[in-house]
Amino acid sequence: MKIVVLDGYAANPGDLSWEGLEALGQCVVYPRTSANELLERAADAEILLTNKVIINKEAMEALPQLKYIGVLATGYNVVDVEAARERGIVVTNIPAYSTPSVAQMVFAHVLNITQRVGHYADEARQGVWTACQDFSYSNTPLWELQGKKIGIVGLGNTGYNTARIAIGFGMKVYAYTSKSRLQLPPEIRKVELDELFATCDIVSLHCPLTADTHHLVNESRLKLMKPTAILINTGRGPLVDEQALADALNNDTIYAAGVDVLSTEPPTANNPLLSAKNCFITPHIAWATKEARQRLLQIACDNVEQFIKNKPINVVSK
């Protein structure tokens, strides 16, 4: 059985092994594949693995050998699942592999904004502290997290892990979630979305991207927030109206934002967040710790193995 990995570099830039997949069949791994290269590279494959290469109905029609598509991510919008279902092609994803890493990144952004460790390390290196008249030097606001209110939009695996970390910091946790109050631990208070934005010092986005959540963070919702508030987005870029957020930051409507995802990736040079005041951007790396990528590859291998055994798991094309 021929297995083709279309864009394996992001998950494994060379520090991990593909031997698990190689043990399951004839395996070819491409670091990247353009749309023009897709059909030639996938021509005789029965199993395709993709991260960001789009596999639409037309591609499936041109690949009669194709029986299985494994998405090397949790989100699977790169595949036309309905077309796959119609053709009897099994589509799987990789659920929950990056949960601890993404929750960790939320607080990497929170701590960077509230304590600015990188900024002060640079200041010290440049001699600013050496030239200071006092034993202690600061030129930004410094926050203590204990007692602050954090609002979590979406209380799935990552949202819940983020809540647990926040509780450890002594924060008051609010959540907008479909779960009932009875399903929540006493440390998490369920609230409506607008109340969450108006009440919380920090808002962290963890909901899926749907038609209803597209631009969930918009001009009107940003105006509900405190001028000292922080927005964190490690979910999906289009959850946020980026121009509205840039305006809110530049106009001091809110204090700061930490984002790991943008609406277009890599971003265009004119993305307004790239130059917005107090906007701290990481290049979609919350998922990319070595440990998370190891889990991803292991689950991908398990998915393929179980498909070959006619016992598919993590199927999203039912």
61 catalytic per annotation: no
Single-letter code of the amino acid located at 29: V
Which of the residues 58, 82, 86, 265 is marked catalytic?
Answer: 265
Beta sheet of 47-50, edge-to-edge order = 26-29, 2-5, 47-50, 68-71, 90-92
Count of alpha carbons within 13 angstroms of residue 80, beta-carbon side: 12
Which of the residues 85, 219, 284, 305 is marked catalytic?
Answer: 284
Three-state DSSP at 94 gives coil
206 catalytic per annotation: no
Distance CA 97, CA 302 (A): 13
Which of the residues 116, 236, 293, 295 is marked catalytic?
Answer: 236
Phi, psi of 94 (to 5 degrees): -120, 95
- Structure tokens belonging to residue 241: 């109206």
265 catalytic per annotation: yes
Sign for the CA dihedral angle at 48, 51, 53, 57 comes to positive
Q: Residue 266: is the preceding peptide bond cis (ω within 30°)?
A: yes
Active site residues per annotation: 236, 265, 284
